[in-house]
Copies of this chain bind each other. A is one copy, B any other.
Amino acid sequence: MDIQELRTRNPDHWMRATAIRALALDAVAAANSGHSGMPIGMADVATVLYSKHLNFDASRPDWADRDRFILSAGHGSMLLYSLLYLCGDPEITLDEVKNFRQLGAKTAGHPENFLAKAIETTTGPLGQGIANSVGFAIAEESLRARFGKKLIDHNTYVIAGDGCLMEGVSQEALGLAGRYELGHLIVFWDNNDITIDGKVSLSDRTDQVARFKASGWHVQEIDGHDPEAIDAAIVEAKKTSQPSMIACKTHIALGHAAQDTSKGHGALTNADQNDAAKAAWGWTSGAFDIPAEIKTWWEEVGARGAAEREAWETRFAETSAARQKEFTRVMDGEAPKKLSAVVKALKKQVSETAPKVATRKASEMALEVINPIMPETIGGSADLTGSNNTLTGDLGVFDTDNRKGRYIYFGIREHGMASAMNGMGLHGGVRPYGGTFMAFTDYARPAMRLAALMKTPTVFVMTHDSIGLGEDGPTHQPVEHVAISRATPNTLVFRPADAVETAEAWEIALRQTATPSVLSLTRQGLPTVRLEHKNANLVEKGAYVLAEAEGKRQAILMATGSEVAIALAARDLLQAEGIGTRVVSMPCWELFEAQDESYRRRVLPPAGPVRVAVEAGVRMGWDRWLCGERGSAKKSGFVGMESFGASAPAEVLYDHFGITAEAVAEKVKSLL
């Protein structure tokens, strides 16, 4: 690449873009860690995007109708931080830039959405940003249909690298965006032909242009260092009704000794080489120093959208008060006041009629009363609609000709679904939930973890949650997946015992604003165990006494989900022998942990009674409650799974693996 030619072809543009380059180079060198080459390579694209197209107001990064910018290639975080600082973002100051990658800085190694408002999503794990962006674009379509163009009409822009496109989740994202014709989604592919291990061709020779076209995308190929070409391509991309991919041929670490090499991907910290790069760029300012003229220009870019934003505020003020209130409510992620009432009514009805239903069906029953009063919910399933029970009557199906539809057929794409749901939640204004089998949390794991890290309250509806699914066998039978979800910080894992607990769990999940929920639900029918109606949401305590011991309390049985009924049956056996037995239902460990000591002590009184836990999963974690919480190792036991499951009818499997009331009672007696 002839830097001289680039410098002279469009000198103003060049110096403005090079401000990004210089900041990235300086910040990475100061931190002695990070990724210099990508911001340097994509500075031209970013400069044209921000200065000519991105509709935003740097001073108000939370403006609801801003264009979203997602840096899927999150390792190039200094590109984003440089842009934000240059444009005058109130949170990403020069000090933050200088503090890149240091403790407490908003300029973390990879962009973290919860550190600054202008950071739309957390990226770094490759492919997540492009998959999130599908959710952003769906949310935009949905809200545009609901609230009209005057309130919602914006684009989602993404920069994705070769790594993003090699990750399988990108194919799921491509397929979804193509199928649903998400025309407001525009992806720039940083086509620099470099990965960490070497040239892209070392491990991939996919024709990405052909691949995107195969999934229904509009594709253009440009020189990613030519500002006119970048501008023209964005103009074109905005016109099409298809999602758009702009393949930008770029040079990683442009103008640096490491240009076009995998070394250029990482931290460029050699002072001489960095000085030489700056000289080649024609950049004469000191470290972190931006010439006033260039900073002023960038600040004007940052303020460019102020008028648009103000016009939007005027339009917003002109809409009815009710509409304003509703818009604000959903954008804030606030559940409607009616939620408690409909859940209570359902609980009452369930306690009275005591149906025997699977908790997946119970979940549908809850959604049937919730969805009508929460127009912000968007449901879906990864091709298991009838099994996950996620579709309710009134939702309508989201499609190219029905953007108001609130149900999404995600296809066989658990990972893409979960990432898209995260994107919807991050966009705001909609509240996504989606289903698959609990065993396939494995496929969705990267996005489920990110939901927790990003503090977005996605609801994962995971059905068929144990050997109780029967004949499909061990590939489909989760045994470790409840433990996996519980091991993840900032995640509420609900394993409700019946339709009452399921409704309570839904209410809690939908009240969250910063924590995702996993609903672990059965395929098989379960009796109602909450036969006495209570207005209070007992699941909110995490664990509670479901059945008290009669006579002297000699044993405490702890159980979740489908095993609560087994614990109750075991209690019957034990009580018949005069062994006073309490049953504690523990639908949500995390909420129980959050209770104060005195409550926890009331539910699980210190040593004395034998404690036996029963759950059709692995023991991992249960020792915390069996003996870690003032219990005793000698007087505690566990009835559950020690291996993978097997293929057979559910009842046969429960017998085969010894998860029965008899086994629980025997275990208690052996410990007494």
Which positions in A face B, CB cutoff 8 Å?
31, 33-34, 74, 101-105, 108-110, 112, 122-126, 162-163, 166-172, 174-176, 178-179, 195-198, 201-208, 210-211, 213-216, 381, 383-387, 409-413, 415-416, 439-440, 442-443, 445-446, 449-450, 452-453, 470-476, 479-480, 483-484, 486-490, 618-621, 623-624, 626-634, 636, 641-644, 646-649, 652-653, 656
Contact = CB atoms under 8 A, between A and B. Distances in A.
A644 B490 contact: yes
Contacts of A646: 103, 108
Contacts of A31: 471
A644 to B, nearest CB: 5
A646 B114 CA distance: 12
B412 A473 contact: no
Nearest to A161: B412
26 contacts: A34-B471, A103-B647, A103-B653, A105-B647, A109-B471, A109-B476, A110-B476, A112-B647, A166-B172, A167-B168, A168-B168, A168-B416, A179-B205, A195-B411, A196-B384, A197-B409, A202-B411, A203-B383, A203-B409, A207-B213, A450-B475, A483-B484, A489-B643, A623-B623, A627-B628, A627-B631
Contacts of A385: 196-197
A613 B88 CA distance: 47
Nearest to A408: B203
Nearest to A128: B475
A416 B450 CA distance: 21
A323 to B, nearest CB: 33
Contacts of A627: 623, 627-628, 631, 633
Contacts of A201: 179
Contacts of A174: 206
Nearest to A172: B168
Contact of A488 (B198, B409, B480): B480
* 8 pairs of A and B residues whose beta carbons are closest in the complex: A168-B168, A203-B411, A103-B648, A108-B647, A171-B171, A124-B475, A623-B623, A210-B214
Contacts of A384: 196-197
A626 B621 CA distance: 12
A163 B412 contact: yes
Given A171-B170, A412-B167, A179 B203 contact: yes
Nearest to A33: B471
Given A102-B647, A124-B472, A196-B386, 6 more contacts: A34-B471, A102-B652, A105-B647, A197-B381, A480-B484, A484-B487
A660 to B, nearest CB: 15
Given A196-B386, A475-B122, A653-B103, A411 B204 contact: yes
B215 A473 contact: no
A480 B471 contact: no
Contact of A489 (B409, B471, B480): B480
Nearest to A103: B648
A125 B475 contact: yes
A110 B489 contact: no
Nearest to A31: B471
A475 B167 contact: no
B166 A168 contact: no
Among A412, A442, A633: residue with most chain B CB under 10 A: A412
